[in-house]
Amino acid sequence: MTALAIDVHGLTKRFGHKTAVNAIDIAVPEGEVWGFLGPNGSGKTTTIRMLCGLLHADAGEGTCLGYDLRTQSEQIKREVGYMTQKFSFWEDLSIRENLDFVARVYELPKPREVAAAAIERLGLSERQDQLAGDLSGGWKQRLALAACMLHSPKLLLLDEPTAGVDPKARRDFWDEIHRLSSEGLTVLVSTHYMDEAERCDRIVYINLGTIVARGTVAEVVARSGLFTFIVEGEGARALEGELRGKPGIEFVAFFGTALHVSGKNHKALEQTMAQIQGRAGLAIHEAPASLEDVFIQLQDKNGDHPS
């Protein structure tokens, strides 16, 4: 059996009277890439900070990289790479200077050589003398990942690392993540992008501090029990308000120019959609539920919790 990089049970964190994370269980095998999903304010960041030893849990127990989560947080910090949502490096230093400084903070031997190796590995050589504050979002992201990897961590905890970067930078970033995973690194990454979630070995969906779905993408979609009809055409947008609340319809949402109409009662949903099937200018067909359909349904069912 594959060893577990993360194995926690009943993980709970409270801030005053508010429970931010409520009795979460997570078991991540070594070498896998897991996606951590949920609306803003759902508890993802708080959970990640507890896993890397930055926050102490109010309840629960378990291990991270074999170290006790409650008593060995300093050891955990030494072997985890944590990438925060916000760019947290020095904008008036160059890429090379930032990495050299971080290597010294980690008290790594030969910090300049370590920084140079990270620059080469992450393709930063041509920009190594550029100030961090002048970098685009994609290059800042690459610098942050290089800094996370300086001390050769066994686990990466990435908190919405691709927010605000262009599609090519996101794709390049994920190619690098999978390359690192193929070398045995374990990754837990929070994201709002469904295409990124679909690149993970498994996903965990958290809302209001509680896990409401987990498994492979195929498993999460199958367990949802959701059926979806897609409406396209010039009159599709006008139907959104008309269809809400009709028998069998649990939610209606636009994806691009297509209207997705979903629910769990297939017979009732099919009968409702049949009533508009012949309208001029509309094309209606049934399709497998997408991961995004499922997440919208989960969010509606469990309540949104904006930050």
d(CA 77, CA 153): 9
Q: Please tell me whether residues 144 and 256 are part of one structural domain.
A: no
Q: pLDDT tens digits for the chain (307 residues)? A: 679 999 999 999 999 999 999 999 999 999 999 999 988 888 999 999 999 989 999 999 999 999 999 999 999 999 999 998 888 889 999 999 999 999 999 899 999 999 999 999 888 999 999 999 998 888 888 899 999 999 999 999 999 888 777 888 888 889 989 998 999 999 999 988 888 999 999 999 999 999 999 999 999 999 999 999 999 988 888 888 889 889 999 989 888 889 999 999 999 999 999 999 888 888 999 999 999 889 888 877 665 543 3
Same domain as 241, residue 192: no
How far apart (Å, rounded) are the C-alpha atoms in residues 141 and 37?
Answer: 20
Contacts 24+ apart (CB under 8 A), 217-225: 217/291, 220/291, 220/294, 221/288, 221/289, 221/290, 221/291, 221/294, 224/264, 224/289, 224/293, 224/294, 224/297, 224/298, 225/264
User: In Å, what is the CA distance from 306 to each residue of 100, 150, 224, 241, 281?
Assistant: 38, 34, 23, 24, 37
Q: Are residues 88 and 145 in the same domain?
A: yes
Quick one: tokens of 168? Answer: 């090519």
Range of the domain at 265: 227-288
Please report whether residue 295 resides in a domain.
Answer: no
Q: Using alpha carbons, list the distances in angstroms from residue 275 to 39, 232, 242, 281.
A: 34, 15, 12, 15
Work out how many domains the chain is built from and give that number. Answer: 2
CA 103 to chain centre: 27
Distance CA 176, CA 102 (A): 21
Residue 263 sits in a domain of what CATH number? 3.30.70.920
Q: How far apart are CA 294 and CA 213, in angstroms?
A: 10
Do 50 and 137 fall within a single domain?
yes
The CATH code of the domain that includes 104 is: 3.40.50.300
